[in-house]
Amino acid sequence: MSTSAAGTLSSTTVGESGAPVVFLHGLFGQGRNFAQIAKALAPEYRSLLLDLPDHGRSAWTDRFDYTTTADLVADHLRAGAAADGPVHVVGHSMGGKVAMVLALRHPELVGRLVVADIAPAAGGSVGEFAHLLDSLAAVDLTTLARRGEADERLAARIPDARVRGFLLQNLRADGDGGFRWQANLDLLRRDLAAVGGFPDVGEATFDHPVLWVAGDRSDYVRPEHDPAMRRLFPRTTLVTLKGAGHWVHSEQPEAFVSALRTFLGADGR
């Protein structure tokens, strides 16, 4: 496993051989959220776990915009993983929207596309994410003595310990005995409507194979989204994972890996 930063984006590579697969995380996430999935795909696949702007170790920006983000990812891939040809791209939630825009704007970089539990549409549970962002912002880091105290303060507003654990991956020691949020919370709170939206992509289409993975306990992918998905991505296959909510890759990892292996290993372009 190796970590690098090219330009404004930071990435970690898992595996030393095989076809390249790029993973794009969702809101509050980091590339390393896909580490176990990437290890399960080795050695047949070499995975690039990317930190999107305003997340993880990547640079912060002035505003959130899917088109700009997709173009930044494209530049990063051209300089590295996709320098010798197209790569497979897997994106979850916000990262799924980035992946879709990347494929539509830069189809020469993407071999096969996997979109995990998100649709090319505005909406979704923006209110839920606003609550989570507000909850994190409400923690007074200047009075925080230890990491566990942050979890204790969040418990009343976010009862689910698993969700708190995921969010608190963004809490980092600042080097002076205090703490800081690694994600750009102020920008994400301000631009949450853009995060929940989807840009106008005109008449663009992506004619390579696409796997659309939904959780049967999630409402992010609904029947009314199907026409838009198939208009933009006419070679789409929809798979619904039983027992999975929005975080399909962490809630049903074995089924998710199995779906990836079947799809990425299929013959034909």
Closest to 210 measured CA to CA, from 118, 88, 42, 93: 88
Which residue in 160, 174, 186, 219 is the catalytic one? 186
Q: How many CB atoms lie within 10 A of CB 222?
A: 13
Q: How far apart are the first and last CA of the chain?
A: 29
**The one catalytic residue among 25, 92, 225, 246:** 246
In whole angstroms, give the CA distance from residue 66 to residue 88.
19
R_g of the chain computed on alpha carbons = 18
Helices (H), 208-247: 226-232
The CA-atom distances, in angstroms, between 108 and each of 83, 154, 184, 223, 248 are 11, 44, 31, 29, 28
* Residue 214, phi then psi, degrees to nearest 5: -120, 155
246 flagged as catalytic: yes
Which member of 93, 117, 191, 218 is catalytic?
A: 93
> Distance between CA 261 and CA 243 in Å, rounded?
20
Phi/psi for 91 (5° steps) reads: -130, 135
Write phi, then psi, for 240 (nearest 5 degrees): -110, 125
- Phi and psi angles of residue 8, each rounded to the nearest 5 degrees, phi first: -100, -5
Cα dihedral 71, 74, 79, 85 sign: negative
| 225 carries an active-site annotation | no
88 catalytically annotated:
no
Q: Which residues are catalytic?
A: 93, 186, 246
